[in-house]
Structure 1
Amino acid sequence: MKTNWGTAVVLAFIGFITFIMSFVIRMNTEKKYDHQLVTEAYYARELSFQQDMDREQRTHAEGMEPRVEQKAAGIYIYFPEQADMQKITGKVSFYRPSDRAEDFEVPITLTETFLLVPAPQLLPGRWNLEIDWQYGDDRFLTHKKIMY
């Protein structure tokens, strides 16, 4: 049987639409293609973005930026030596860009000049650190990206 070009075009459209629809359904139903925002309250955090940038600039300008070092025991976060360690409070948030389920927070309670996050808590790969801390009445913020 001989087909004309109109029938071939219609069959090509039907084949293309079938392919696209199967792709869309597969992407929405399979767990390995789970699409997620970086944080739960993404839009609420976006509203405070300028305040966070100002805090981060002030942290850098005043020389209060914590130093982050990776060692075999884990990640060491050293706070400025001029600060009284007993007056430092806050939290360190670890964000894993590849898997939100691995995100966690560590409260800052210092007895030494550093905070240690043990290696067993950290999977190999990229981590985004957000060090949000307070010293007296001043609040500071630092963002770091590390490969562990």
Structure 2
Amino acid sequence: MNIKVNWGTGIVIAIIGFIGFILYFVVRMSVEDKFSHDLVVEEYYKQETHFQDKLDAAQNAAYLKGSPKIEKQEKGLLITFPSAWKLDQAKGTCTMYRPDNKKLDLEVPLVVKNNQFLIPDKKIVEGSYKVQLFWEKDGRPYYYTKSIFY
């Protein structure tokens, strides 16, 4: 038996084969659990509207002398603020954003004592984090961020 395939039929078979190949990978990527499709942040557009506020707060923190020192210790992650900042009455939050897994993100109230703030070791899983400090003092917002590996 001798089957002849002309150019038109060959092109159609190639296109159908290519479409099948692409669909296989699209279905595989959307179904399998090991391919996570988390958003970087929830409510992205809502956060974007406050972007200028974040820039202003970062500029306020840049005007302060020095910057916080973030270091891993036995008890956890210790954040030490410069003594000139006097943040004992400051109110804010510390967010530890984990780019690879939003389930490991952590947000805790910023409670500064003796210009230090400790996040207990049991709350943090080893890996890469973006530490974001938001605080307000004397009616002015401040923002500081640093990427770390814990």
Identity of aligned residues (%): 34
Unaligned runs of 5+ in 2: none
Kindly state the Cα deviation for residue 55 of structure 1 after the two structures are TM-superposed.
Answer: 1.1
Give CA-to-partner distance per residue, 1:59-106, whole Å, 9 cap, x none: 111226322122333211112312444312211001100001111111
Q: Of 101, 118, 121, which aligns to 2:120? A: 118
Counterpart Cα distance in 2 of 1:146 and 1:111: 22
Unaligned runs of 5+ in 1: none
Instruction: Give the root-mean-square deviation of aligned CA atoms.
Output: 1.7
Aligned residues: 148
Q: Which residue of 1 aligns with 2:36?
A: 34
Counterpart Cα distance in 2 of 1:57 and 1:103: 25
Q: Which stretch shifts more, 89-98 or 41-50?
A: 41-50
Partner AA of 1:7 in structure 2? T
Kindly state the Cα deviation for residue 123 of structure 1 after the two structures are TM-superposed.
Answer: 1.8
Give CA-to-partner distance per residue, 1:23-47, whole Å, 9 cap, x none: 1122222222221221112111111
Q: Which residue of 1 aligns with 2:138?
A: 136
Kindly state the Cα deviation for residue 117 of structure 1 after the two structures are TM-superposed.
Answer: 1.2
Give CA-to-partner distance per residue, 1:98-148, whole Å, 9 cap, x none: 001111111112333211112232222210111001223222100111111
Q: Report the 3-state secondary structure (helix = DSSP H, G, I; strand = E; otherwise coil) of the residue aligned with 2:12.
A: helix
- Any conservation in 2 of the 1:87–1:136 contact (CA below 8 Å)? no
1:108 matched to 2:110? The reply is yes
Q: Which stretch shifts more, 49-58 or 66-75?
A: 66-75
